[in-house]
Structure 1
Amino acid sequence: MTIPNPTDAPTLLTDADVLARVSALVGVACVDRQLWLMFVDGDGRQTPVVMPVSDVPHRPLPHLLRGLTEVLRGLRGDLATDLGPGSVILTLERRGPDRSTPRDREWSAALVRVCREAEIGLRGVFLSSDAGVRRMA
């Protein structure tokens, strides 16, 4: 998925900006078990590529996490600008209530670890549910 005219979109300066962008692009959950990756350059501009990963398992599997770590590590240089390093926004989409489940929390902790291991900034881990979007980490 690409964002129409991403250069026209406001920069993501605050946590509220990030939440508003995730809410606008992902919104209320439509499918069960999907992970959205959004990338932000060092200037705070979201890149035009939004990557949904379908059929995410209920629990984070080690080989999936290793693969995601490598992908994010490989993008660090592409996201860096003169103003700073880039970052990522991660959103777990799943049907159901807004309250976090133990599996949601397990995913959130795993995604935080992935970003730390990939040495890439994390602008937030979000949950998209039947009630909309909210921050988990």
Structure 2
Amino acid sequence: MNTEESLRDRVLHTDDQLRDLIQLLLQRANQRQLWLLFIDERGCLGDPLMPMADYPSDPLATVRVDDLGEVTESHLLIHRMGSLLKMTGNTGIVLVWEHPGRDAVRKADRAWARAMAEQAADLGIPLRAQFTLYGRGVRQLHPDDYL
């Protein structure tokens, strides 16, 4: 069994286990981007792992799209993630906000984490956890971090 197979078979019972897996997979921050990870029905890391560079700077900026009308960037992003969740057959979403530098949590991370948590709750999308990946490692974002 190769390492990737064994990592995908780890049941992630706790957020600490999830954080350790993220640290192992992503290691350290290289650029500003968002990672979308899925959790499958077993509670293990699902497919695919999706990096997204160039996500908007303001989660509350509005955008007009054909199928949703005028919505915030965070609403659009979590809505699309919810669609991917259904298409892939996974059961949960984990977000990792990557940015180089020493600061574990930046103002932009707080704004995005808050907006995504609110939109996920409003749309009924199972957002299991959010983390930052920065120059010194991985840190979980808790509601106290972004309220």
Identify which of structures 1 and 2 has the higher relative contact order when contacts are C-alpha pairs closer than 8 Å and 6+ apart: 1
Greater alpha carbon shift after TM alignment, 57-66 vs 104-113: 57-66
Please state whether the residue corresponding to 2:41 is helix, strand or coil: coil
Task: Report if aligned partners of 2:8, 2:46 keep a CA contact under 8 Å in 1.
Answer: no
Q: For structure 1, list consecutive stretches of 5 or more residues without a partner in the other structure.
A: 80-85
Task: Report if aligned partners of 2:120, 2:126 keep a CA contact under 8 Å in 1.
Answer: yes
Deviations 1:70-112 (A, max 9, x none): 2233224722xxxxxx111100001122342222211110121
Q: How does 1:121-132 map to 2 (within 5 A)?
A: 121-132=126-137
CA distance in 2, matches of 1:112, 1:22: 19
Q: How does 1:79-98 map to 2 (within 5 A)?
A: 79=90, 86-98=91-103
CA distance in 1, matches of 2:119, 2:51: 17
Deviations 1:24-83 (A, max 9, x none): 12221111x20000000232021131000011233324443232222233224722xxxx
CA distance in 1, matches of 2:54, 2:81: 19
The letter for the 1-side match of 2:128 is R
Please state whether the residue corresponding to 1:59 is helix, strand or coil: coil
Task: Report if aligned partners of 1:72, 1:115 keep a CA contact under 8 Å in 2.
Answer: no
Rate the CA distance shift 1:4–1:34 in 2: closer, same or farther, 3 A. same
CA distance in 2, matches of 1:7, 1:22: 10
1:115 corresponds, among 109, 113, 120, to 120
Whether 2:141 is the aligned partner of 1:136: answer: yes
- How many residues align structurally? 128
Partner of 2:14 in structure 1?
14
Partner of 1:55 in structure 2?
54
CA distance in 2, matches of 1:41, 1:52: 18
The letter for the 2-side match of 1:54 is A
Rate the CA distance shift 1:4–1:42 in 2: closer, same or farther, 3 A. same
CA distance in 2, matches of 1:113, 1:120: 10
CA distance in 1, matches of 2:92, 2:4: 20
Task: Report if aligned partners of 2:74, 2:112 keep a CA contact under 8 Å in 1.
Answer: no
CA distance in 2, matches of 1:111, 1:51: 17
Instruction: Give me the CA root mean square deviation.
Output: 2.2
Q: How does 1:96-107 map to 2 (within 5 A)?
A: 96-107=101-112
Partner of 1:26 in structure 2?
26
Rate the CA distance shift 1:101–1:7 in 2: closer, same or farther, 3 A. closer
